[in-house]
Amino acid sequence: MMGCVPVFRLLLLLTVCLTATACTASTPTAGPVQVVGVENFYADVAAQVGGSRTQVNTILSDPNVDPHVYESNVDDAKLVADADIVIKNGVGYDAFIDKLLAASPRPNRIVIDAAQLTGHKDGDNPHLWYDTFNTMPALVPALVQALSRKDPPGSAAYSAQGQAFLTSLQPIKNLESTLRQKYPGAPVMATEPLWNYMAKASGLNMLYAEGPFQKATQDGNDPPAYTVIQYREAITGGAARMLMFNNQAQTPMSQQLVALARQNNIPVVPMSETEPSNTTYQQWMGNQEQAVLQALGG
């Protein structure tokens, strides 16, 4: 006969299982927690939060590769198969990872989806890592929880390191505040929607944001002719105070606009889609904010 205490424990276990990714996901690991950050900036965040108790790998890190058209390989499949935790961007940006996850099912693997954490859906601007103060405050606690489930003895360290990471983002917030104060509503343009989130957070007016030109360029397609005219007129007529472009995924049209901007003394600021080597996420975001500030006049 089942007594009250066993029944209570069973109900508690069922409650825990329903609120977790899977019941077995809380099974502790032996040795360092194996983490894969699909994009290298998520891997960097994981390394900073996880510290020496983790082994972190990444898939998308080559500055010469356009992440939108990346094709996975056998090495990527092995990383995913061995991972305890996988951090992906979602909203179709890294759709290849879903195929790798399905190819190596592992019931105790924890998958952290940045898009789901921040309430985004397919069709939204996928460059969520540029939405620093919406994405990171959602991602880091989820990562701390996942690491703690995989390595309970490290819980205190993960919590402290997670908080330290979030605190270290303050200089980026300060730069956003400076831009909002000095250049409120300043009209800027970008060949892709790469920096749109941060432009909005910085109080800048991104002309033609999420429009057909940006989306076509992002997808590697030719933008509609009328949008090319819009962009050219905004540059030659001085409507835009700055032009940003993705230096990892240039198209002939984006290169033409960069050249036109320089001819018309419009500042041009390159942005990157993956984190540069020998830098941190915080430095990367801060450096690009600082570049925008300088381009607008300092």
Order across the sheet with 205-206: list the strands. 205-206, 187-190, 243-246, 268-271
pTM value?
0.88
| 20 part of a folded domain | no
The domain boundary, picked from 117, 146, 167, lies at 167
> What average pLDDT does the segment 235-250 reach?
93
Q: What is the mean pLDDT of the chain?
A: 90
> Tell me, what's the pLDDT at 112?
98
Domain tally, the chain: 2
Same domain, 194 and 126: no
pLDDT of 83: 97
Tell me what pLDDT residue 26 has.
Answer: 53
CATH number of the structural domain spanning residue 227: 3.40.50.1980
Within 10 angstroms of residue 226's Cβ, the number of other Cβ atoms is 9
Do 44 and 161 share a domain, yes or no? Answer: yes
Q: What is the pLDDT of residues 4-14, one digit of tens each?
A: 333 333 333 33
Contacts of 296 (CB under 8 A, 6+ apart): 179, 182, 183, 186, 241, 242, 267
Residue 260 lies in a domain: yes
- What local confidence, expressed as pLDDT, does residue 24 receive? 39
Pick from 252, 240, 248, 247: which is nearest to 270 by CA?
247
Q: Which domain holds residue 222?
A: 170-296
With respect to residue 17, please indicate whether it lies within any of the assigned structural domains: no
Confidence at residue 61, expressed as pLDDT on a 0 to 100 scale: 86
Asked if 150 and 235 sit in the same domain, the reply is: no
| Minimum mean pLDDT range among 43-47, 234-238, 246-250 | 246-250
What are 23-73's pLDDT values in tens digits? 334 567 778 999 999 999 999 999 999 999 999 999 988 876 767 777 888
Q: Is the pLDDT of residue 118 over 80?
A: yes
Nearest to 231 by CA among 197, 255, 199, 200: 255
3-state SS assignment for residue 109: coil
pLDDT of residue 60: 87
| Same domain (yes/no): 60, 99 | yes
16, pLDDT greater than 60: no
Query: Which of 167, 199, 216 corresponds to the end of one domain?
Result: 167
The answer to whether residue 1 is domain-embedded is: no
What would the DSSP string read from start to end of 84-108? Answer: SEEEE--TTTTTHHHHHHHHS--TT
